[in-house]
């Protein structure tokens, strides 16, 4: 199953127009992403808020991640302070997967950002979290926090932004987006054989592990006749016919 490194901003000195700061709201978005990620079968880790960007890049590169997702809000140059608006999703122009992910995010953000034509995917060769990570990486500038309208949009849409980002990740990975439910415990009940853990909710999905009869699993969500489960730290899909909640 896919694994993502979430890197919300650690820039608490970037104050918003009326209340809060960049670090606060980007971490709130990351918080709200977590249940959507779990229910959709996406594993994740987060950056250490006490470390800077260099630390986040190092931590990301020390693991095996499919995507490095940096979350930020933007600020205008001094001569344009408060005048700019927009969602800018930065990608590395020499990586087709980075560009593909950025394009998906920018397009999906058009559905919730009040100025759809200002949600764009943009290339960069200067942002370290895009150019220096081993994983496919994008950096999301989710509006301008020095603009009162963008700031309000961010503050009032933390959950829709989080949900939209996870939907984009699911689109990129080619897996279904699953609404979160309360995490439940389930017991595998078979004829005594192992239950296959799959990478996709289908009998044709690749088998990525097995779960023994009688084992207890965490159940995070359901897609048709499949549960998103974790067992021994591994996430995947298991047939709901063989898991008793």
Whether 88 and 154 share a structural domain: yes
SS3 category, 214: coil
Residues 147 and 50 in one domain: yes
For the four alpha carbons of 96, 99, 103 and 105, in that order, the dihedral sign comes to positive
| Structural domain harbouring 195 | 184-244
pLDDT of residue 189: 97
Report the C-alpha gap between 6 and 174 in whole angstroms: 19
Q: How confident is the model at residue 235 (pLDDT cuts 50, 70, 90)?
A: very high
84 in a structural domain: yes
Q: Can you give the CATH number for the domain in which 116 is found?
A: 3.40.630.40
Residue 192: which of 215, 219, 220 has the closest Cα?
215
pLDDT range class, residue 1, cuts 50, 70, 90 = confident
Final residue of a domain: which of 173, 192, 207? Answer: 173
Q: Is residue 221 part of a domain?
A: yes
Average pLDDT over residues 219-227: 96
Task: Determine contact, residues 82/21, Cβ cutoff 8 Å.
Answer: no
Residue-wise pLDDT for 93-125, tens only, equals 999 999 999 999 999 999 999 999 999 999 999
pLDDT digits (tens, 9 = 90+) for 119-171: 999 999 999 999 999 999 999 999 999 999 999 999 999 999 999 999 999 99
Which of 154, 173, 192 is the last residue before a domain boundary? Answer: 173
Does residue 101 fall inside a structural domain?
Answer: yes
Q: 98 and 32 in one domain? A: yes
Total number of domains constituting the chain? 2
**119 lies in the same domain as 63:** yes
Tell whether 179 is covered by a domain.
no
Q: What is the mean pLDDT of the chain?
A: 96
Strands 3-8 and 43-46, how do they pair? parallel
Looking at the fold, whether 151 and 74 belong to one and the same domain comes out as yes
């Amino acid at each position: 199953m896919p694994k993502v490194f979430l890197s919300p901003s650690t820039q608490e000195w970037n104050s918003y127009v009326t209340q809060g700061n960049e670090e606060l709201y980007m971490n709130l978005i990351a918080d709200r992403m977590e249940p959507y990620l779990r229910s959709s079968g996406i594993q994740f880790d987060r950056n250490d808020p006490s470390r800077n960007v260099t630390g986040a890049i190092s931590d990301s590169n020390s693991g095996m991640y499919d995507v490095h997702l940096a979350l930020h809000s933007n600020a205008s140059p001094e001569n344009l302070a408060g005048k700019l608006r927009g969602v800018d999703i930065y990608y590395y122009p020499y990586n087709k997967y980075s560009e593909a992910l950025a394009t998906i995010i920018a397009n999906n953000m058009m559905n919730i950002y009040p100025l759809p034509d200002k949600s764009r995917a943009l290339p960069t060769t200067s942002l370290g979290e895009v150019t220096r990570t081993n994983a496919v990486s994008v950096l999301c500038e989710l509006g301008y926090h020095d603009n009162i309208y963008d700031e309000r949009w961010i503050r009032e849409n933390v959950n829709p932004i989080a949900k939209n980002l996870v939907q984009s990740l699911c689109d990129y990975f080619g897996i279904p987006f699953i609404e979160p439910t309360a995490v439940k415990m389930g017991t595998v009940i078979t004829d005594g054989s192992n239950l296959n853990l799959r990478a996709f909710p289908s009998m044709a999905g690749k088998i990525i592990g097995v779960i023994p009869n009688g084992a207890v699993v965490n159940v995070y969500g359901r897609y048709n006749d499949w549960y998103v489960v974790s067992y021994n730290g591994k996430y995947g899909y298991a047939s709901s016919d063989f898991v008793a909640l």
